[in-house]
Amino acid sequence: MAVISSEKDIEALSFTIVAEFDAAVDRVWQIWEDPRQLERWWGPPTWPATFDKHEFREGGSSSYFMTGPEGEKSRGWWKFTAIDSPRRLEFNDGFADESGAPVGDMGETHAVVTLEEVEAGRTRMTVASSFENAEQLQQMLEMGMEEGLKEAMGQIDGILAERASV
């Protein structure tokens, strides 16, 4: 079980998840630092992410897009507000239009990621996200839900195909 705990604060609109991995702190840091590894886990499986810019330094920014099952693209950006390698990073995360420009009225999520060694070769990762408005959260959720919906549809297709072959 990688997830140790999760905590939701409804009043403050924030969410914190704590996970532990059997890997050294430096290795877990790479998961965030290396865009090729990051894009293997950031987007939902049916909405894989592609980072076309990843300036992993304080003040730097990233841009990425997620590609949906129908080839549709959803663009986002990050702005790194603090990077203390390999233990802490903070960034703002928002949505972007087709040209990659931030969508101004969509609000931002602020995320604080900390990595600590709990024992040799074992790392605790804490990610704290806070939301400033609902549209941001809602968009994220809709993407996650679209995935769930497509999977459910796929299962129905599979069941129907089985029936047809009986």
Partner 1 sequence: MVVDQLSESEVDRLFHALADSTRRSIVVRAISEEHSVSALAAHYAMSFAAVQKHVAVLEQASLVTKEKRGREQMVRANREAVRRARHLLDEYEKIWRQRVDRIAEILAEDE
Q: How near is the Cβ of 165 to partner 1 at its closest, in Å?
A: 31
Nearer to partner 1, 30 or 61 (CB): 30
Check binding of 160 to partner 1 (CB under 8 A): no
Check binding of 23 to partner 1 (CB under 8 A): yes
Binding window for partner 1 (CB under 8 A); candidates: 14-22, 53-61, 71-79, 86-94 = 14-22
DSSP calls for 52-99? EEE--STT-EEEEEEE-TTS-EEEEEEEEEEEETTTEEEEEEEEE-TT
Q: What's the CA dihedral at 120, 2, 93, 138 to 10 degrees?
A: -170
Taking residues 25 to 64 in sequence order and writing x for each that binds partner 1 by CB under 8 A, - otherwise, the string is --xx--x-----x--xxx-xx-------------------
Residue 66 has which token pair?
């997620």
Among 2, 118, 159, 160, binds partner 1 (CB under 8 A): 2
Core vs surface per residue 126-165: b (16+ CB within 10 A) or e: bebbebeeeebbebbeebeebbeebeeeeeeeeeeeeeee
Check binding of 156 to partner 1 (CB under 8 A): no
Check binding of 21 to partner 1 (CB under 8 A): yes
Check binding of 106 to partner 1 (CB under 8 A): no
Residue 29 has which token pair?
């840091």
Phi-psi region of 59 (alpha: psi -120 to 50; beta: other; left: phi over 0): left
Residues in contact with partner 1 by CB under 8 A are: 2-3, 6, 8, 10-13, 15, 17, 19, 21-23, 27-28, 31, 37, 40-42, 44-45, 125, 127, 129, 131-135, 137-138, 140-142, 144-145, 148-149
